[in-house]
A = this chain, B = another copy of it.
Amino acid sequence: MQSFEQLSEKFTLHFDHPHFPAEPASLYEPNEYFLRLGGKRVRPVLCLMGNELFEEIKTDAWEVATAIELFHNFTLIHDDIMDKAPLRRGMETVHTKFGDNTALLAGDVMLVKAYEYLSKIDTVCLYPILYLFNQTAREVCEGQQWDMDFEKKETVSLDEYLRMIELKTSVLLAASLKMGAILGGSGERNQNLLYEFGRKLGIAFQVQDDYLDAFGDPQKFGKQVGGDILANKKTFLLIHAMESASIGQQKELSKLLNGNEAGKVENVLQIFRDCKVDEWALQLKNRYLDEAFAHLEDIAVLSKRKEPLKELAHFLVQRQH
């Protein structure tokens, strides 16, 4: 059994080579540029870990892991166009550096390349993995569309936001694990438990992300605290505040959000605290984390094999009471 760090190092070595032909350089150099920006490669490693939970890592798992990472990068390139994001990992995004049209095509061809890797694997696993990959790819697109729709909506319910986060973020983590489980020869019940583990871990992670943006220690968090508030982004915190605040607080919150006065972040945070949004968020995160661990517990393999996944979950979502 290997830890996340061990597998991450192995995957990075495996993945670190050109994935595209040299020509046309105007199309493929942007792809290679973006892949060189790196990243934690969490999703492909989840696939490898899902495999190793049940059995030694198969050769095919490296192909599937590569396909997953390319798919993830495809979504990032296209999301950056849609969000008009200038930077990714501190470097210029593809559309900023090479133009919107090339970024659009580079994303397209990245997705096709993902399918090229996927199509190499053995028959037994090809059908269930293609099925899950396609379904997940479609869901991730749906999540991105909901996210764009929500930006224009006045109010979004917690259920709607949860479903969006699930589609946009969680399902790919969950599917990565499940594809690994399929490759590891696990039974359907175990596959689905692992999927649920990943799905709920993903939600817990997003709750934490929203929490840290508002209440994180700026020095540990590594980015500006209150960025979501300044951008009027709908988050778990804001949605819960709007649902649980008094009418007076709601009015005050709306006023703050519609304006851009000095002290906006501090004033919004004060309302969050008054409504105990911070405590609520930590509870919500822990609830999803507990549920995730319960699913992992239920998987019928030796407890020892689950250690690396437990460690990773604790690392991704720090418990904070």
| Partner-B contacts on A (CB < 8 A) | 23-24, 26-27, 78, 81-82, 101-102, 104-105, 107-109, 111-113, 115-116, 119, 123, 126-127, 130-131, 134, 137-138, 141-142, 144-146, 148-149
Contacts and interface: CB of A to CB of B under 8 A. Distances in A.
Contacts of A131: 119
Copies of this chain? 2
A116 to B, nearest CB: 5
Most chain B beta-carbon contacts within 10 A, residue among A113, A116, A127, A145: A145
B145 A102 contact: yes
Most chain B beta-carbon contacts within 10 A, residue among A101, A108, A146: A108
Given A24-B142, A145-B26, A108 B111 contact: yes
Contacts of A108: 78, 107-108, 111, 141
A184 B78 CA distance: 38
Contact of A105 (B27, B123, B144): B144
A145 B27 contact: yes
A115 to B, nearest CB: 5
Nearest to A81: B104
A146 B119 CA distance: 26
Contacts of A145: 24, 26-27, 102, 105
27 contacts: A24-B145, A24-B146, A24-B149, A26-B149, A27-B141, A78-B104, A78-B105, A78-B108, A81-B104, A82-B104, A101-B148, A105-B141, A105-B144, A105-B148, A107-B108, A108-B111, A108-B141, A109-B141, A109-B142, A111-B112, A112-B137, A113-B138, A115-B115, A115-B134, A119-B127, A119-B130, A126-B126
A111 B112 CA distance: 9
Nearest to A99: B148
A292 B228 CA distance: 60
Given A105-B82, A108-B78, A115 B130 contact: yes
